[in-house]
Amino acid sequence: MFDKVEAFYRPANVREALRLLQSGKGQARVVAGGTDVVVDGDDSVRFLIDITHAGLSYIRRRGTASVIGATTTMAELEASPQIQSLAGGLLCKAAHSCGSMPIRNLATLGGNMANGSPAADMATPLLVLDAAVVMADAKGRRRLPLAEYLGNARSNRYARSLVVEIVIPDPPRGKGCRWSFQKLGRTAVDISLVNVSAGLHLDSRGRVKWVRIALGSVAPAPMRAPGAEQRMTGRILDQALLAEIGAEVAREVSPISDARASAEYRREICSVLTRRALEECSAPAGCSL
């Protein structure tokens, strides 16, 4: 594992980290918590750049958004009162599901996004929250919708960039707004076979005003289910609509079979977890399901 590493750097800021990344000429690799990168053990890596002292561990308010620095750990997210009160604690629930406590003490939010796994548990709640990623490279900073970033995270496109922070615009709030994170793994500390996040805003008559559904581990990247969201909008959420939406998400996903589960099983679980998520979202809002 990393037998060929010649130098380990710990830059004190983003500018220095970017300079080291550029001078590494493709042989440098960023390391945050190390929980993915160390398992990977890529033999072509000569330089490791530890960004955990680069000033990217924070949770802040900025205008009408919550902003989370890339090296904020899962444990820090779980413990943050600001994150606990955001969208009914949706991100806390997802962070709590990321492996065991020792893993969550190391694993960072930026690493979870940059690793580009379709099963990354923080991706679906962030998609539901319409989050954006702030990237930095030699040319400066830019902001990308999370879905666009995740679609390219495994390509070489961002090889000389850093994820700096995640920006979450204030979501809808009020009596009819509810949130849910559902995950199925082999055990409680395992990676997802499927995960589903949902956000729902029902009006006073139980009609769907706003909805987001996102699914993980069922496509090359975590994805929204736009067809299902469209079908729900403006309709009363009842058992018939739940069944329709369960079937629609199963059509929208494109899972693969691997050592963990077959594609058919994953497709079925998408329906089950989506229904479960929407039921959780609708129950306290007074919907008669």
Ligand X SMILES: Cc1cc2nc3c(=O)[nH]c(=O)nc-3n(C[C@H](O)[C@H](O)[C@H](O)COP(=O)(O)OP(=O)(O)OC[C@H]3O[C@@H](n4cnc5c(N)ncnc54)[C@H](O)[C@@H]3O)c2cc1C
Query: Looking at beta carbons only, is 168 or 191 nearer to ligand X?
Result: 191
Q: Considering the rule CB under 6 A, would residue 126 count as an interface residue with ligand X?
A: no
Q: How far apart are CA 52 and CA 251, in angstroms?
A: 41
Q: Give the residue, chosen from 18, 28, 31, 132, that forms a contact with ligand X under the rule CB under 6 A.
A: 31
Helix (H, G, I), strand (E, B) or coil at 211: strand
Amino acid at 145: P
Q: Considering the rule CB under 6 A, would residue 115 count as an interface residue with ligand X?
A: yes
Helix (H, G, I), strand (E, B) or coil at 228: helix
Q: How far apart are CA 120 and CA 98, in angstroms?
A: 9
**Cβ(171)–Cβ(201) below 8 Å:** no
For the CB of residue 100, give the shortest distance to ligand X in the complex, in Å.
7
Q: Give the residue, chosen from 2, 5, 34, 144, that forms a contact with ligand X under the rule CB under 6 A.
A: 34
Could you tell me which stretch among 85-93, 111-119, 220-228, 231-239 binds ligand X (CB under 6 A)? 111-119
Query: Looking at beta carbons only, is 18 or 281 nearer to ligand X?
Result: 18
Q: Considering the rule CB under 6 A, would residue 227 count as an interface residue with ligand X?
A: no
Residues shown for the chain? 289
**Cβ(284)–Cβ(178) below 8 Å:** yes
Take residue 58 and report the two structure tokens written for it: 């924070």
Q: Considering the rule CB under 6 A, would residue 11 count as an interface residue with ligand X?
A: no
Q: Considering the rule CB under 6 A, would residue 70 count as an interface residue with ligand X?
A: yes
Q: Considering the rule CB under 6 A, would residue 103 count as an interface residue with ligand X?
A: yes
Binding mask 148-177 for ligand X (x = CB under 6 A): --------------xx--------------
Could you tell me which stretch among 94-102, 166-174, 234-242, 260-268 binds ligand X (CB under 6 A)? 94-102
Which residue has its beta carbon closest to ligand X? 111
For the CB of residue 182, give the shortest distance to ligand X in the complex, in Å.
14
Q: How far apart are CA 77 and CA 120, in angstroms?
A: 15
Where does residue 236 rank: exposed (0-12), middle (13-18), buried (19+ CB within 10 A)?
Answer: middle
Residue partners of 265: CB distance under 8 A and separation at least 6:
193
Could you tell me which stretch among 107-115, 170-178, 196-204, 235-243 binds ligand X (CB under 6 A)? 107-115
Take residue 152 and report the two structure tokens written for it: 């390219």
Q: Considering the rule CB under 6 A, would residue 108 count as an interface residue with ligand X?
A: yes
Give backbone dihedrals phi and psi of 3, rounded to 5 degrees, phi first.
Answer: -65, -25
Positions that interact with ligand X (CB under 6 A): 29-37, 39, 51, 70, 97-99, 103, 106-108, 110-112, 114-115, 120-121, 162-163, 191
